[in-house]
Amino acid sequence: MVTDAQSDVNELRSNGQTMRRGQCVARRGSEVVSQVSRCTMNTLLVLAAVLLATPARGQDLSGAKTLSVVPQTEAQLKELIKLFDAGQYDFWREPRDMGMSVDIMATASQVQELTAALERSGLKPQVKVDDVAQMVMRQNSGVYSRGARSLDWEDYHDSYTINRWMAQLASDHPDLCTLETVGKSYEGRPMNLLTVGKGGADKPGIFIDGGIHAREWISPATVTFLVNQLVTNSSAHDDLLSSVNFYFMPVINPDGYDYSFTDDRLWRKTRSEPASPGGCSGADANRNWDFHWMEAGTSNDSCVDNYGGSAPFSEVEMQVVRDQLTRLRNTTKVYLTFHSYGQKWMYPWGYTAALPEDWQDLDRLARDAVGALKAVHGTRYQVGSSTRTIYAASGGSDDWAKGVAGIKYCYTVELRDLGTHYFTLPPSLIIPSGQETFAALKVIANFVKKTYSD
C-alpha cells in the first residue's frame, strides 16, 4: 500500500538544486538565488553547470586537520571532556573512556592552539587527517549521486532518491510493505515510515532509524540496505516477516542530510533557523529528546555542534519520530538508531554512568548480534553502555525510547569504521557494512520472534 508518500515531493532535483513548484531556487553555499515565476530549461542547465563545477561548500576547511589522542588517565579524560563541552572544536569521535581514541578536527587557525592544549594535559596528539579539505573533496568529486534514477548501494544518495525508492518498493511489494508519510522536516521534506511485515499490526516490532546526524552517510545507506534485503529477498525471511514487524525511517534529519551533500559535507545538525538573533542554524537532533534534556555532553550555544536545541523537542523532525515511537510503543520491543563511526553497539543510559536494571538482557542480545556481525567480514564491534565512566551525553533518542516510551531493547549503533575514513567511508564499503549489519539484525529479529511471537 502506498499512502501519500510522494505526493508532497513537489521538488524536481538536479545536481543539488532544489526547484519548488513555480519557483527556481539554487543553493550555492549561503548564496540563494531565487526566481519566482518561469523556470526555463536554459536556466536549469546553466545552474546545473555552475553547481557541477562547484564542490559542496560550507565552513572553510583549507588547512584543517584532524588530531587523535588516546586519554590514559582520568585527568586527561576530564580535560578532553572540558574541551568537548567548551564547543570550540568539532569532535568527530567524542571522549568516552580511558584508552579510547578521540578525534578532533581543528581549522587552520585552531591547529596550533589545539595541539598546545592537548600537550598541556600530557596527551600526545597525532595528526590523522593532514588535509580535511582534500578528504572531503575526494568524496564529493566521487560518483555519489544526487537525484539518481534509482537507489543502489555502490553510492550514497540524497533523501529525495531514498524516498522515491521507498515509494517504488512499497508499490512493488504491497503484500509486505506499507509506506506512510508521517511528517515533514523543517524545510518541508517528507518524512516516511516504511513498515515491513505480513503478520498484522499486533506482531512485535523492531523500529530502525538512520541519518539523525547529517554527515554520517553510512547510516541511511546501511538502513536502506537492510530494507532491501528484507523486501527483495523476502522468501528467505518468510518466517521472520510473518512474526515480526520492521519499522524503518532511514533519514530522520533529511534537511541536514541533504545539506551535507550540497553545502557542507561535515554538517551534523538539523537546519532549523536560529531561535534567537545572532544564533546559528540547526540543533544536534540526538541531544534534543525530552529525557534528562540538556544535562550532560550538550551545549546551549546554538553555534556548537552538540547544541541541544532551544527546548526539548524543538526540532520538528524529532517530534515526528517521537510520535511514531509513541504510537508503536506497545508492540515495539527493539529500537535501533544508526550512527557512525567507531564500531560500537551501545545501550542506555547515555545521560548517566548508571546502568538500567535490565542491562544484562540488553548486553546479552547485543553480544549475540555483534557475534553474527563479525562472522560475515571479521568486523569487530564493541558492546557496552553509552556512558562508560565519566563522560555522559543526555537528550539522546535511545535514552528516550527506553526511559519514556518504555521500549526494552534500545541500541545506538556506531557503524564503520574505526577512524581510517572517518565520515567519508568509501562507497565500496556500503555493501559489506550492510551485509554484516543485516546478520546482526537477523539475530535480533529471531530473538524477538522467539521471545514475543512464538
Known catalytic residues?
414
Segment contacting Zn ion (CB under 5 A): 150-158, 173-181, 212-220, 223-231? Answer: 212-220
C-alpha distances in Å from residue 276, one per residue of 102, 273, 282, 433, 451 = 32, 9, 12, 40, 49
Q: To the nearest whole angstrom, how small is the minimum distance from the Cβ of residue 338 to Zn ion?
A: 9
Q: To the nearest whole angstrom, how small is the minimum distance from the Cβ of residue 91 to Zn ion?
A: 11
Segment contacting Zn ion (CB under 5 A): 233-241, 249-257, 336-344, 358-366? Answer: 336-344
Q: To the nearest whole angstrom, how small is the minimum distance from the Cβ of residue 90 to Zn ion?
A: 13
287-311 as b/e, with b when 16 or more CB fall inside 10 Å?
Answer: bbbbbbbbebbbbeebebbbbbbbe
What are the start-end ranges of the E strands in 132-233? 177-184, 190-196, 205-210
Segment contacting Zn ion (CB under 5 A): 2-10, 105-113, 297-305, 337-345? Answer: 337-345
Peptide bond into 417 cis (omega under 30): yes
Distance CA 351, CA 399 (A): 8
Q: Does 287 bind Zn ion (CB under 5 A)?
A: no
- Beta-sheet strand order (sheet of 17-20): 11-14, 17-20, 23-28, 31-36
Q: To the nearest whole angstrom, how small is the minimum distance from the Cβ of residue 340 to Zn ion?
A: 7
Distance CA 368, CA 383 (A): 10
Q: Considering beta carbons, is residue 189 or 339 the nearer one to Zn ion?
A: 339
Residues 399 to 418 in contact with Zn ion, rule: CB under 5 A: none
Contact 452, 206 (CB under 8 A): no
Segment contacting Zn ion (CB under 5 A): 79-87, 210-218, 389-397, 431-439? Answer: 210-218
Q: Considering beta carbons, is residue 213 or 271 the nearer one to Zn ion?
A: 213
Q: Does 442 bind Zn ion (CB under 5 A)?
A: no
Q: Considering beta carbons, is residue 339 or 388 the nearer one to Zn ion?
A: 339
Amino acid at 91: F
- DSSP element (H, E) containing 447: helix 430-448
Q: To the nearest whole angstrom, how small is the minimum distance from the Cβ of residue 126 to Zn ion?
A: 23
Segment contacting Zn ion (CB under 5 A): 208-216, 251-259, 306-314, 366-374? Answer: 208-216
Q: Considering beta carbons, is residue 345 or 447 the nearer one to Zn ion?
A: 345
Q: To the nearest whole angstrom, how small is the minimum distance from the Cβ of residue 216 to Zn ion?
A: 5
Amino acid at 36: V
Number of amino acids touching Zn ion (CB under 5 A): 2
Q: Considering beta carbons, is residue 165 or 257 the nearer one to Zn ion?
A: 257
Distance CA 355, CA 359 (A): 6
Q: Considering beta carbons, is residue 213 or 416 the nearer one to Zn ion?
A: 213
Q: To the nearest whole angstrom, how small is the minimum distance from the Cβ of residue 135 to Zn ion?
A: 18
- DSSP element (H, E) containing 229: helix 218-232
Residues 6+ apart with CB under 8 A from 135: 129, 422, 424
Place of cell 565520515: 423
Q: Does 213 bind Zn ion (CB under 5 A)?
A: yes
Q: Does 339 bind Zn ion (CB under 5 A)?
A: yes
Q: Considering beta carbons, is residue 213 or 344 the nearer one to Zn ion?
A: 213
Cell matching residue 276? 534567537
Q: To the nearest whole angstrom, how small is the minimum distance from the Cβ of residue 213 to Zn ion?
A: 3
Residue count (the chain): 454
Q: State the Cα angle at 284 between 162 and 445, rounded to 5°.
A: 50
Distance CA 128, CA 326 (A): 42
Q: Considering beta carbons, is residue 213 or 287 the nearer one to Zn ion?
A: 213
Q: Does 65 bind Zn ion (CB under 5 A)?
A: no
Segment contacting Zn ion (CB under 5 A): 64-72, 131-139, 213-221, 368-376? Answer: 213-221
Distance CA 190, CA 192 (A): 6
State in Å, rounded, how far the first CA of the chain is from the last one: 27
Residue ranges in contact with Zn ion by CB under 5 A:
213, 339
